[in-house]
Structure 1
Amino acid sequence: MTRSFPPPPVFLLPKWEEYYHQEGFAMFVYKPQKLHWFLYLLFFALVLLSAFFTYTSKFNLTLHKLFTVRNCKCSHCTSELGESEWFDKRYVPTMSPILTKSNYTIPEKSYKWWLSLQHEQNPSNMTKLMEELFNLFPGDNVLMDQGPNRCRTCAVVGNSGNLKGSKSGPSIDASNLVMRMNRAQTTGYEADVGTKTTHHFMYPESAKNLASNVSLVLIPFKVLDIKWLISAFTTGQITRTYVPVLRKINATKDKVLVYNPHFLKYVHENWNERHGRYCSTGMLVVAFALHVCDEVNVYGFGADSFGNWHHYWEKNAGAGAFRRTGVHNADFEANVTKSLANIGKIKFFKGI
């Protein structure tokens, strides 16, 4: 007797169809419409996966911000890492820009580098000098109080002629801290540069008298600068370094701060990449602000719209004099501040 078999399965039928029954097995096929829907869903899933992997770094960054304690309560915190590889390679959160009673022992490499700036061969007993310094001034670790409940805005105000006519005064004065430097003036220029100053950075050769509510921040480029600071508040015996300097200075003793020489070297190496012999005052103040502020606005840096490098309170006596000193590399420093602005770590106001 000849055994008969059912016909083979046909896959293009208009509905589900059972074709084969044998020993408890069954075969089914899809109709074309179902297959199309499956392919559409598969394609959509692949698109979603591709998008996920493409934006996974942004997704992880968003999760990080949502589920970790932030450095500050501002909308954007200058010190936050993970946003720019360029910034992360240079910024060291643990570096203290202020010399204090607890950190005045300068690491040997930084100490030797600092002495080399002015070719000092026979420095004083630094331990004794530091003790004398902090017997006179507080030496507390102020400003380093970063936390999720703080939003400290800072204006770093340079002395460029591009501030003249800028009308930046109200914006500058709105900041929590306003940092000025060297022989900066406000009287007569209030509309452009503001009236407020909280911290004034100087060294003996650029020193000026300050109001009682302003913190004097000494940038010591040599050991003699620290000796001058002590002298200027006590005996007044130092009247000259390599040029005549103020014998006495009007400033509030309890508000005096000293820039950390170890931090000087850090800025020179990490940020300026050893360009120039050492950094300009302006670059040092910007770096200082990156470590003590949550938002940093920078004014009065660079040339004016005519390419002149001069101070806003004086007529231009020689364009580019600052750039030709050989001590600082103004062009490289300008690129650093531009890069900081491009990644949103500072806001840079060009003036006019």
Structure 2
Amino acid sequence: MTTQKKVLKVLTFLVLLIFLTSFVLNFAHTTVPAAWFPKQMVLELSQNLRKLIKPPPCTCTHCISQRKVSAWFDKRFNQTVQPLLTAHNAVLEEDTYQWWLRLQREKKPSNLSDTIRELFSVVPGNVDPVLEKKSGSCRRCAVVGNSGNLRESSYGPEIDSHDFVLRMNRAPTVGFEADVGSKTTHHLVYPESFRELGEDVSMILVPFKTIDLQWVVSATTTGTISHTYVPVPKKIKVKQDKILIYHPAFIKYVFDNWLQGHGRYPSTGILSVIFSLHVCDEVDLYGFGADSKGNWHHYWENNPSAGAFRKTGVHDGDFESNVTATLAAINKIRIFTGR
């Protein structure tokens, strides 16, 4: 009770102070000479009071969602766009739906409404509460790509120190812990890139077509879907309450706002980065880009053709790299380039 009284007194004092400041500012503007009451001093006092009442978006040194740091960022970042598909935001606008259907050109896509209804009868239809930002916190996230520049980087302990660790596609950790860490909180996949995950890891399905959503239902129940355009796992061991769905509208938002139409659709890597901007306060990137010799390959294999996707036109790897480099230049993310 005593604490509540103290808080009430402080709030009352702040309100009175703001009122008096505003009064003095108006009075100084109309009657008092600048020598008696410098207007700049009153303005600064007023701004400081506003900061006291409206706390910063987070307690990190650089908060991602902080506005008016970069016009380039403010033009692209739309905090109202929801990254995850839920039972409450599952209706797609017609232009979004038609764009999404063209991504991988399904010949006879199933009815999306029926598919989503079936999907949320199996997996949770509400947003993962862990992903919801809390004011007054500093959520540090590591987004770990699959680049060979992670080899001999010794980033493992540093990666594991983050609150969230996001990985993608087939990335393994066993045997590579010293360089890539062992902790994973969220793993982004699509059916064709799925790998079995740890028991406490949340799977974020990135759906590029309607059958991807149907596959989630099938892979956690009947196991009837074994093939999309290539063979896919018939069954997965991921707990149903650990399955989240990347919103198709968010894919389009990344494509429109951040990639400005470059490539045919975004890569899982850039989808992971922009996703993290919306759920994290501070983001560190590891395992993105070529190694020190300019080679594009995965850290777990020697594959000379691993960078071939850069020439197909499906993803514009160079433009995506420019986006992350710009984000780093304005202190919205940090990029660790490895070896």
- Answer yes or no: same fold by TM over 0.5: yes
For residue 186 of structure 2, the aligned residue among 193, 199, 202 is: 199
Contact residue 298 and residue 346 of structure 1 kept, 8 A? yes
Residue of structure 2 equivalent to 1:310: 297
Residue of structure 2 equivalent to 1:281: 268
Cα distance between partner residues in 1 of 2:228 and 2:279: 31
Q: Deviations over 1:279-337 (max 9, x none)?
A: 00000000100000011000000000111100000013236313122200000000000
Cα distance between partner residues in 2 of 1:64 and 1:350: 39
Residue of structure 1 equivalent to 2:122: 136
Contact residue 272 and residue 333 of structure 1 kept, 8 A? yes
Alignment of 1:95-134 (within 5 A): 95-134=81-120
Cα distance between partner residues in 2 of 1:158 and 1:319: 14
Cα distance between partner residues in 1 of 2:268 and 2:151: 20
1:62/1:317 CA distance change after superposition, 3 Å: farther
Residue of structure 2 equivalent to 1:291: 278
Residue of structure 2 equivalent to 1:93: 79
TM-score normalized with structure 2 length = 0.84
Structure 1's unaligned 5+ residue stretches are 1-44
**Correspondence 1:175 to 2:162:** yes
Residue of structure 2 equivalent to 1:161: 148
Contact residue 205 and residue 245 of structure 1 kept, 8 A? yes
Indicate the SS of the match to 1:296.
strand
Indicate the SS of the match to 1:172.
helix
Greater helix proportion: 2
Please state how far the C-alpha of 1:139 moved relative to its aligned partner: 1.9
For residue 65 of structure 2, the aligned residue among 67, 75, 79 is: 79
Residue of structure 2 equivalent to 1:12: none
Query: Deviating runs (4+, > 4 A) in structure 1?
Result: 58-67
Alignment of 1:138-153 (within 5 A): 138-142=124-128, 143-153=130-140
1:210/1:320 CA distance change after superposition, 3 Å: closer
Please state how far the C-alpha of 1:59 moved relative to its aligned partner: 11
Contact residue 309 and residue 322 of structure 1 kept, 8 A? no
Cα distance between partner residues in 2 of 1:110 and 1:350: 35
Residue of structure 1 equivalent to 2:9: none
Cα distance between partner residues in 1 of 2:59 and 2:232: 43
1:319/1:255 CA distance change after superposition, 3 Å: closer
The one-letter amino acid paired with 2:166 is: M
Residue of structure 1 equivalent to 2:209: 222
Contact residue 109 and residue 211 of structure 2 kept, 8 A? no
1:60/1:160 CA distance change after superposition, 3 Å: farther
Report sequence identity in percent.
54
Indicate the SS of the match to 1:135.
coil
1:102/1:316 CA distance change after superposition, 3 Å: same
Contact residue 298 and residue 306 of structure 2 kept, 8 A? no
CA RMSD of aligned residues (A): 2.2
Please state how far the C-alpha of 1:62 moved relative to its aligned partner: 7.6
Aligned length: 300
1:207/1:306 CA distance change after superposition, 3 Å: same
Residue of structure 2 equivalent to 1:187: 174
The one-letter amino acid paired with 1:132 is: E
Please state how far the C-alpha of 1:255 moved relative to its aligned partner: 0.9
Cα distance between partner residues in 1 of 2:136 and 2:234: 42
TM-score normalized with structure 1 length = 0.81
Structure 2's unaligned 5+ residue stretches are 1-34
